[in-house]
Amino acid sequence: MTKSPRCQPILSIHWILSVLLPVWASCDADRVAERSTADDALALAPCGTGRTCTAGHQCIDRMSGRTACATGPCSVSSQCTDEHVCREGWCIDVAQPPEPDVCPSGSTEGLIGCAPGYAVHVAWRRPLCSVCERTSASDDGGVDGPLPADGGVVPDRLADRTPDASPPEGFLCGEAGRYSDRTNPKRYVDPTHGNDANNGMSWGNAFATLHALERGAIYFVADGDHPAVVLGAAERGGERIFVVRATADDHGSDAGFSLDMADGRAEFGNVTFSTGHWVFDGQQRTGWQSGYGFRVTNLSPSGKILRIDNASTDITLRYVDFENLRGAVPGESTDGIYAPSASDLTLQCSAVRDVGRTVLLLDGSRNVLIEHSYLARNASSPDAHGDGVRFWAADRGIIRYNRIEDIVGTGPIVLAWGNDHVDIYGNVILHTPGFAGAFGTGAIVDISEPGEIGVSNVRIYNNTFLGLRALNAGLLFQLRASDTIDVRNNIWFGCEAHQIGMINVTVHDFNAYGGNVLSSYPEPSEPNGQTLTADPFVDSATGDVHLRLPTEGGQGGLPPEFLVDPDGSTRGADGTVDRGAFEFVSE
């Protein structure tokens, strides 16, 4: 087994939590020290066109020859001195601004696809700019030389795909059949025409709010504004309560129902579950961020959009848009879903977004399924340290087929302290073009300290990591003799980082790398690794990472649960398992 260069991490949990910036690997720290001791030599040195850095500043090459004057590394601006801001990992002097954020002449903003005989070249990183360049001995017989009139760019073959489009999902999200056809007792909630003095047994006698809930019943909920609610009906064995959004096709009784009860969305304030055995199902969405049947919001600077208390079990959340209306504000301890010690928790076909701290906080949970969901945009600060999916001291989790976008803090997926049996596959983890943030420790990390209980039995297959900006855009684990960290068939493309680390990863192979700009270490070396010489995706600029061409063959023979992609396509149906989140399907 060939491993990438290993540099012993010197992580401190206390430092991570108190000052945000995860500590660099010791070799990175040495490089910083070397730069610091050279400050005098760098003082008043030429830096780019028409700029000279003042004393105490370094001239930083901001990838591909773009420069700025900086005092040292950072993760947030609070770590910089006055008159400096944290940008791209450096404290940059605002009085000596970076060179303009424009694409060079002849290049195109965003990652572009190139025709056969051409390879994509990342010409600039902020904004991301790329060009198609002729390759020698190309498949079409082309040779090095000027571009044709079309620049060698591949036309958009799937123009009807939009950034907000969701993959087909019926095969995993939800159960077959209508709630209306079940034999459970039916109850009705209509905030516009209902009254809590009614019996709730028909649309004409609907409740106005969710209250006095009965075990085993289905509650059809009409559109409109609903108050914040605590769902805490006493448990009765494993009997569930179903809270579902009424739709034109599934609304229980037809008597008293009108289509205007189901042509918008049902909106709630903060929702809390204090008992177990619930299904909370909005029944529909039209895109990653639109068309949800249920929407749950938060307006408090320390609020949780949804929380699960009392170690409650068996809760399913489906087709719900969880949105923090305050936005991702640094210093505010807003979380998306706050569910410490929950069990048998399912989040499907939902969105959790724009929080001040952590998108999903699942410490101590077990038997968790997170799939087909949009997890996006958080903030992080020394006072409110943020992560994407925080799954500390948790047991048995599946994180699959999600879009995890624009995460800062430690990283998009953070494990620690005894995780066992975690499968992470079919996800797209990305930073969008123009997003100015970055994360520190890694895209998927274990932040247990050396000597502490780490994590074991983690399988990371067929994910796509796109355009990540970080100290480490790869993986980091604290290895124990019994650990198995298995990483195969993933793609890292267009990332900007010090490294794509495979630190203490037991096995990594059949991964693909391309278009990455790494300042400290080369891409990981693997027996069956693939170097991508062109953008492999349909439209990287909008985050459409369906493959426009097949990759080299990935690792076959994986267990059957890993052989379906987010669209429901069978991996390897054409004889080759492709790398990345999506299997290539010919038109």
Burial classification of residue 303, based on how many CB atoms lie within 10 Å of its CB (0-12 exposed, 13-18 middle, 19 or more buried): buried
Structure tokens at 535: 């953008």
531-559: average pLDDT = 95
| pLDDT 10s digits, 471-493 | 999 999 986 655 789 999 999 99
pLDDT of residue 83: 64
CA-to-CA distance for 17 and 330, rounded, in angstroms?
A: 14
| Pick from 29-43, 135-149, 175-189: least confident | 29-43
Res. 535: pLDDT tops 80: yes
560 falls in which pLDDT band (50, 70, 90)?
A: very high
380-396: average pLDDT = 93
451 falls in which pLDDT band (50, 70, 90)?
A: confident
| Pick from 146-160, 241-255, 409-423: least confident | 146-160
Res. 470: pLDDT tops 60: yes
497-503: average pLDDT = 96
Q: For 523, which DSSP code?
A: P
Res. 138: pLDDT tops 90: no
| pLDDT 10s digits, 71-92 | 877 655 566 776 666 555 667 7
pLDDT of residue 164: 56
Res. 327: pLDDT tops 90: yes
Top mean pLDDT of 415-424, 457-466, 480-489 is at: 457-466
CA-to-CA distance for 280 and 305, rounded, in angstroms?
A: 14
Structure tokens at 395: 């047991």
Amino acid identity, residue 170? G
CA–CA–CA angle 114, 116, 120 (5° rounding): 30
Q: Yes or no: say if 358 and 390 are a contact pair by the CB < 8 Å rule.
A: yes
106-115: average pLDDT = 57
CA–CA–CA angle 481, 483, 487 (5° rounding): 130
| pLDDT 10s digits, 252-274 | 999 999 999 999 999 999 999 99
Res. 21: pLDDT tops 50: no
pLDDT of residue 159: 28
Res. 332: pLDDT tops 80: yes
Please state, in angstroms and as integers, the Cα–Cα distance from residue 146 to each residue in 104, 105, 515, 534, following that order.
Answer: 17, 15, 21, 17
Phi then psi for residue 92, to 5 deg, are: -100, 135
- Global pTM reads 0.74
DSSP states of 459-507: EEES-EEES-EEEESSEE----TT--EEEES-EEES-EEEE--EET-SE
Res. 424: pLDDT tops 70: yes
- Shortest CA distance to 130 belongs to which of 552, 433, 473? 433
Q: Yes or no: say if 437 and 465 are a contact pair by the CB < 8 Å rule.
A: no
29 falls in which pLDDT band (50, 70, 90)?
A: very low
| Pick from 88-92, 172-176, 185-189, 399-403: least confident | 88-92
569-579: average pLDDT = 95
Q: Yes or no: say if 244 and 283 are a contact pair by the CB < 8 Å rule.
A: yes
In angstroms, the first-to-last Cα distance of the chain is: 37
311-321: average pLDDT = 97
pLDDT of residue 80: 72
Res. 182: pLDDT tops 80: yes
- Shortest CA distance to 473 belongs to which of 536, 520, 419? 520
Mean pLDDT for the chain overall = 81
Res. 441: pLDDT tops 60: yes
Q: How many residues does the chain have?
A: 587
Amino acid identity, residue 324? N
Structure tokens at 268: 């709630």
For residue 290, what are the contacts with CB-CB under 8 A and spacing of at least 6? 164
410-421: average pLDDT = 93
Structure tokens at 391: 């799954």
Beta strand 128-134 with 118-125 is antiparallel
